[in-house]
Amino acid sequence: MIHVLYLDDEEHNLTAFRAAFRRDFNVYVTTSASEAERLIQEHPIEVIISDQKMPDVSGVEFLELMMKNHPDPVRMLLTGHADIDAVIDAINKGRIYKYISKPWNEAELRRLVEEASDIYRARKRNKAVSENYGRNLQAIRAALVDLRSECEAHSGLDGAEKARWSDTLSRMIGWIENPESDFHEGT
Amino acid sequence: MRVWWTLMWAVALASCTSVQPAEDPVYLGTSMAKLSDPNAPSSKGSPLNSCHASLAALEAAEVDSTFERTAVPNMPNDPEWHWVRLSLPLVDPELQMMEVATSAIDSMVVVMACGGTLIQRTEAHGAGRRWSWGRGFGNFPAFDLPEEPCADLVAYVGVKSGRNIPLPVRVHERSLLERWQFNRDSFFMFYLGIMSVMLLHNLFLFVTLEDRTYLLYIFFLIGVAGSQFVLHGYSWVVGMESDSWLGLRFVHLMGMYSGVTTFMFIQRFLDLKRLAPGYHKALNYILWSYVFALGLLFFGDLNLAYDVINLPASASILILPAAWHTMKRGHKAARFLIVAFSAFLVAVTVFAIREFGPFPVIGGVPYNTLTVYAMPVGSIIEVILLSLALGDRINQFKRESELAREEQLRMSRLNEQIMQEQNQKLEERVHERTEALQEKNESLERALSELRLAQDQLVQSEKLASIGQLTAGIAHELNNPINFVSSSAQSLRRDFQDVAEVLTALEGLEPSADNLATAVDAVHALVKRLDLEFTMKEIEELLSGIEDGAVRTSEIVKGLRIFSRMDGDETTDANLNDLLESTLVILRSSLKDEVTLSVDLAPNLVPISCQPGKLNQVFMNLITNAAQATQGKPASERHVRVRSRMLKDGSHTWVQVAVEDDGKGMSEEVLADMFDPFFTTKEVGEGTGLGLSIVRGILDDHHAKLDIDSAPGKGSTFLISFPA
């Protein structure tokens, strides 16, 4: 289930949102910005939706703050009226993913939330893969270094063969250390 | 003019003949010898130089051989006593008196001796007195002869004066002397009459014409006549009969006065300053010499002063060439002066020769009635001729004024011509200017209409901006309820599907069925799976949300309906609270995240006749301005307060609306200009500057009063009072 947080000063909107999406997502709603931040800290929120016009803090301000404190969740701005200044600020300062205008289209909003969630998850997966890849590469490098020293210490190989193996292994290690370098270039 | 001349000479001759006595007096100068002191070469300290000279001293004195014997001898002009010895023929003392017919003597002593024996000694002091002798009075000193007859009667006569002294001594019958005195008096009465006539005539002319020349003539006349009176012993008339300080100097003062007035009059009469400046200057010098004479008279020697006074008088001969000169230069009246002064100079010359003795060239003149009266007669001629000349001045004035009038006429015609030309030029220029002005006017009108168009466009854009603000506000305000109503409806459908599913399950329960318990368990499981409890609560919430949304939507629509009359001009009765609320509905959403808005509306407002759409524009403008005035502070510290209330003020009822803010306030300069069109404190492009100007216009149309209370840092309050 996707974890969605919705912040709006209008109680009815919160009710309607929860009623619309509670079957599909894990919905967290609140009228308070501080409560919203607390929910983000406590739950694995993937998507943050905020209304723009609120008495204490505007949606842009809130999203800007979230970007700094919790950069992972995907941010979306919801507003009743196209306020071009708010949109510009939201994109530049809040780095939002999407901008949604009221009244929302339930299907579209669902789709957007799912897309946002996909992005969130893809990013997360990407990060994991990238971490794994790095870890594996280091393991391979360590194995290659071992292999090279074993090869150099091997008695059954003549000098020329040793040198050829050692050169190949060194190039492989060098390539792992610096992927930009040319693998075929001799040291 | 000829008639005048004839008349003049007739008068002169008549005056002479009228005083001509039956027989001329006999002066005894030839029997006189002047005495001198043999022991004293200078007269100072001599016993003779005194009024107290004794008979012995007089008899011992020598005869001055240089003394010329004439009928009327002349004593020199010095401050000494002069003595003469006079042998008197046998006379009849009963009838006869000795008279010294002159007024030149200041002090006099007569000592009479008969055969070396003093008979009588008479002293008299004081010039110009009315001497008393016997039964009558006379201008000249006279003495009774001794009562006893004496064959060789000798009279020693001692005289002293501040001037030269002619000694016309005569012995006549008292009655004859009295008749001569009467004749003299008569003549001088006549003289006085003529002079008075001249004086009054010229005084009248002076008053009428206000020409200073006449005044100078009057002074001159007084001088001329006064001199004659004084010279003929009439100074007693004005009280100058004593030997007082002034009395002794009166003849000198009179001479000076006469000289000064004569020269001043001549200067004026001949217009010397303009026509003959040289003569004018010369006469000025002469006038200054009188000041010198005046000094001598007051502080020095009387006799010397007399000479000094006579010296400039003789310079009056200058007057003739001066008059001639001015006549040559066109001064017509100058010929009168020449004649008049010639006559007077002749008289003066006669007088001078008579008084001071014979002149080398002219020779002497006898001391007789004709010569005595020559001066007064000459002065009469002079005065009358000059008066005639002055009269002629009137004619000259007339001619001159006629000429001046003609000149004036000519000038005015010329002026008229010039004026006409100028007028024509002026008209042409006015025409040119008018055309230029018309052109300018037209271009101004064009500019004005363009400006008006621009202003209309601006007003229109202001209106459009309001409408834009309105639509934006409404869109936002409507979006929220629409959003949750429509969303809630969809959710409700799903919730209802869950409920329906349970209902269907419940419907399928058969009480008679065997597996009832299992079926009920299944339904319970379904209810639990569907979380029906939560769903029911949610349905409640969604329904109340939908209801709330419906209410809010209808409110917004109502507000919109009221507000949408903004562009309409129709007048209707409206409650200002409704208008304020509808405005606030529209503004609330846009102000919500900016300011804390507090609304305090009195419940009992009476409706007022107004244009609601226009007033909405006013309220919207004022509330928006109030919110903008608080910019720059945190949202929680920004307050805008909207109030309404009823105010009873005597017979008047007011409905008041106040918009308050705690913003930056306004300076006095801003307060002064805030209602001017295009005046704005906002950034370029943020406001047209027409808002408050339109507000003012709308409120004026409603006869509403607008009071503003604002100061920098204090915030602003706009209080509108509508007459109910």
pLDDT tens digits, B162-176:
888 888 888 888 788
Residue A17 contacts B where some CB pair is shorter than 8 Å: yes
- Contact (CB, 8 A) for B164 and B77: yes
Per the prediction, chain B carries an average pLDDT of 82
A-chain residues near B543 (CB < 8 A): none
Is B475's CB within 8 Å of A81's CB?
Answer: yes
CATH of the domain at B139: 2.60.40.2380
CB A74 within 8 A of CB A116: yes
Distance from CA of A176 to the nearest CA of B (A): 55
**Residue B441 above 90 pLDDT?**
yes
What is the per-residue pLDDT for B18?
A: 47
**Among candidate residues B115, B150, B183, the one where a domain is terminated:** B183
B119-123, B222-226, B240-244, B670-674: lowest mean pLDDT where? B240-244
Polymer length in residues for chain B: 724
**CA nearest B2: which of A91, B294, B631, B10?**
B10
pLDDT tens-place string over residues B313-339: 777 788 888 888 888 887 877 888 888
User: Is the predicted pLDDT of residue B1 greater than 60, yes or no?
Assistant: no
Which residue in chain B has the smallest CA separation from A19? Answer: B491
> Shortest CA distance to B698 belongs to which of B579, B609, B618?
B618
pLDDT (tens digit, 9 = 90+) per residue, B677-708?
777 777 766 666 778 888 888 888 889 999 99
Q: How confident is the model at residue A30 (pLDDT cuts 50, 70, 90)?
A: very high
Which pLDDT score, from 0 to 100, does residue B139 have?
Answer: 81
Distance in Å, alpha carbon of A19 to nearest chain B alpha carbon: 5
Count of domains forming chain B: 4
Confidence of residue B298 (pLDDT cuts 50, 70, 90): confident
Cα angle B183, B189, B190 (rounded to 5 degrees) comes to 90
- Mutate one of A6, A9, A12, A29 to test the B interface: name it (highest B CB count within 10 A): A12
| pLDDT value of residue B682 | 74
Q: Which two tokens stand for residue B361?
A: 């060239």
Going by DSSP bridges, is the β-strand pair B107-114/B117-125 parallel, antiparallel, or unpaired?
Answer: antiparallel
Cβ–Cβ below 8 Å for A15 and B490: no
Are B234 and B189 contacting, i.e. CB atoms less than 8 angstroms apart?
A: no
In a domain, B490, yes or no: yes
How far from A134 is each of A131, A181, B595, CA to CA, in Å? 5, 17, 54
Q: What is the pLDDT of residue B39?
A: 67
Does B418 map to a domain? Answer: no
Where does residue B665 fall: left (phi above 0), alpha (psi -120 to 50 degrees), or beta otherwise? Answer: left
- pLDDT tens-digit map of B494-551: 899 989 998 998 888 887 777 788 888 888 898 888 888 889 999 999 999 999 999 8
Task: Give residue B114's domain range.
Answer: 26-183
- Judged against a pLDDT cut of 80, whether residue B177 lies above it is answered with yes
pLDDT band at residue B21 under the 50/70/90 scheme: very low
Are both B618 and B530 inside the same structural domain?
A: no
- Summarize pLDDT for B628-681 with one digit per residue, the tens: 888 888 777 888 999 999 988 888 889 999 999 998 888 888 888 888 777 777
Q: At which residue do the structure tokens 């109502």 appear?
A: B558
- Within a domain: residue B428? no
Residue B20's pLDDT is what?
45
pLDDT of residue A43: 94
Residue-level pLDDT at B365 = 67
pLDDT of residue A81: 66
Percent of chain A beyond pLDDT 90? 47
| Domain end among B157, B183, B209 | B183
Q: What is the pLDDT of residues B355-393, one digit of tens each?
A: 776 665 655 667 777 777 888 888 888 888 888 888 777
Q: What is the pLDDT of residue A45?
A: 94
What residues are paired with B210 via a beta bridge? none
**Do B516 and B630 belong together in one domain?**
no
Q: How confident is the model at residue A102 (pLDDT cuts 50, 70, 90)?
A: confident
Please check whether residues B617 and B665 belong to one and the same domain: yes
Contact flag A12-B635 (C-beta cutoff 8 Å): no
What is the rounded CA–CA span in Å between residue A175 and residue A171?
A: 6
Across the range B403-428, mean pLDDT stands at 92
Query: Measured between beta carbons, which residues in chain B are less than 8 angstroms from residue A104?
Result: 483, 487
Give the range among A33-37, B469-473, B621-625 with minimum mean pLDDT: B469-473
Residue of B585 and A64 predicted with greater confidence: A64
Question: Residue B236: CB partners within 8 Å, gap ≥ 6?
Answer: B128, B129, B130, B139
Contact A47, A113 (CB under 8 A): yes
Q: In 3-state terms, what secondary structure has residue B20? A: coil
What tokens does B233 get?
A: 């012993």
- Give the DSSP letter string of A25-86: EEEEEES-HHHHHHHHHHS---EEEEES--SSS-HHHHHHHHHHH--SSEEEEEESS--HHH
Q: Is B112 helix (H, G, I), strand (E, B) or coil?
A: strand
B149-184 core/surface letters (b: 16 or more CB in 10 A; e: else)? ebeebbbbbbbbbbbbbbbbbbbbebebbbebbebb
- Say yes or no for a CB contact (<8 Å) between B589 and A80: yes
Enter the tokens of residue B652. 């008047």
Residue B199 included in any domain? yes
Chain B hits for A53, Cβ within 8 Å? 476, 589, 592-593
CB-nearest partner of A80 from B479, B542, B635: B479
pLDDT of residue B44: 63
Please state the φ and ψ torsions of residue B685, each to the nearest 5 degrees: 90, -10
The ipTM value here is: 0.75
- Contact residues, A window 42-71, toward B, CB-based 8 Å cutoff: 53-56, 58
Same domain (yes/no): B165, B195: no
From the CA of B629, how many Å to the nearest CA of chain A?
A: 19
* pLDDT at position B597: 86
Same domain for B650 and B560: no
Is A53's CB within 8 Å of B593's CB? yes
At CB < 8 Å, which residues of chain B contact A?
Answer: 472, 475-477, 479-484, 486-488, 490-492, 494-495, 538, 541-542, 545, 548-549, 589, 592-593, 635
For residue B404, tell me if it sits in a domain.
no
Question: Helix B516-530 crosses helix B532-563 at what angle (to 10 degrees)?
Answer: 40
> For residue A123, what are the contacts with CB-CB under 8 A and spacing of at least 6?
A72
B193 pLDDT band, cuts 50/70/90, is: very high
Query: First and final CA of chain A: distance in angstroms?
Result: 53
For residues B518 and B522, give the distance between their C-alpha atoms in angstroms, rounded to a whole number: 6
The answer, yes or no, to whether residue A187 has pLDDT greater than 50, is: no
C-alpha–C-alpha distance, residues A105 and A111, integer Å: 10
Evaluate the omega torsion of the peptide bond into residue B73 and state whether it is cis, within 30 degrees of 0: no
Cβ-Cβ contacts under 8 Å, B468 against chain A: none
One domain for residues B518 and B591: no
Beta bridge partners of B96: B173
* One-letter identity of residue B605: L
- Is the pTM of the predicted complex or chain greater than 0.90? no
- 8 Å CB contact of A81 and B549: no
End-to-end CA distance of chain B: 104
From the CA of B636, how many Å to the nearest CA of chain A? 8
Q: Is residue B19, in this structure, part of any structural domain at all?
A: no
Mean pLDDT of the region A95-101: 88
Q: Identify which of B476, B592, B586, B485 has the alpha carbon closest to the alpha carbon of residue A80.
A: B476
Least confident of A120-124, B64-68, B596-600, B652-656: B64-68
Contact (Cβ atoms closer than 8 angstroms) between residue A2 and residue A113? yes
pLDDT at B424: 94
Burial of A107-132, coded b for 16+ CB within 10 Å and e otherwise, reads: eebbebbeebbeebeeeeeeeeeeee
| Phi, psi (deg, nearest 5) at residue B131 | -70, 145
Taking CB atoms and an 8 Å limit, are A55 and B635 in contact across chains?
Answer: yes
Q: Among all residues of chain A, which has the CA nearest to that of B489?
A: A16
Which positions 118-177 of A are in contact with B (Cβ < 8 Å)? none
* Interface test mutation site (partner A, options B477, B482, B483, B556, max chain A beta carbons within 10 A): B483
Question: What would the 3-class secondary structure string for B118-161 be?
Answer: EEEEEEEECCCCCEEECCEEECCCEEECCCCCCCCEEEEEEEEC
Both B589 and B719 in one domain: the answer is yes
Residues B554 and B633 reside in one and the same domain = no
Count other C-beta atoms under 10 Å from residue B2's C-beta. Answer: 6
**In 10 A of CB B142, how many CB atoms?**
26
* H-helix or E-strand spanning residue A97: none
Task: Count the neighbouring beta carbons within 10 Å of the beta carbon of residue B322.
Answer: 25
CB–CB contact A13 B538 (8 Å): no
Q: Is B53 helix (H, G, I), strand (E, B) or coil?
A: coil
Residues A125-154: what's their mean pLDDT?
89
Task: Tell me, yes or no, whether B407 lies in a domain.
Answer: no
DSSP secondary structure string, B558-611?
HHHHHHGGGG----EEE-HHHHHHHHHHHHHHHHHTT-EEEEEE-TTPPPEEE-
Judged against a pLDDT cut of 90, whether residue B420 lies above it is answered with yes
**Six-digit token string for B533:** 């409890």
What CATH code is carried by the domain that includes residue B582?
Answer: 3.30.565.10
The CA distance from A182 to the nearest CA of chain B, in Å, is 59
Task: Give the total residue count for chain A.
Answer: 187
Asked if B173 and B242 sit in the same domain, the reply is no
Inter-residue contact B292 to B304 (CB < 8 Å): no
pLDDT of residue B377: 87
Last residue of a domain, one of B143, B166, B183: B183
Which DSSP letter does residue B300 get? S
What residue of A is the nearest CA neighbor of B589?
A53
Residue B257 and residue B341 share a domain: yes
pLDDT at B82: 86
Same structural domain, B695 and B596: yes
CB contact under 8 A, A80 and B475: yes
pLDDT in the model for residue B413: 93
**Which tokens sit at B713?**
């840092």
The answer to the question of residue B648 being in a domain is yes
Q: With contacts defined as CB-CB under 8 Å, which chain A residues touch B545?
A: 11-12, 15-16
Both B520 and B561 in one domain: the answer is: yes
Closest chain A C-alpha to B472 CA, distance in angstroms: 7
Alpha carbon of B648 to those of B651, B654, B671: distances in Å?
Answer: 7, 6, 28
Contact across the interface for A80 and B486, Cβ inside 8 Å: no
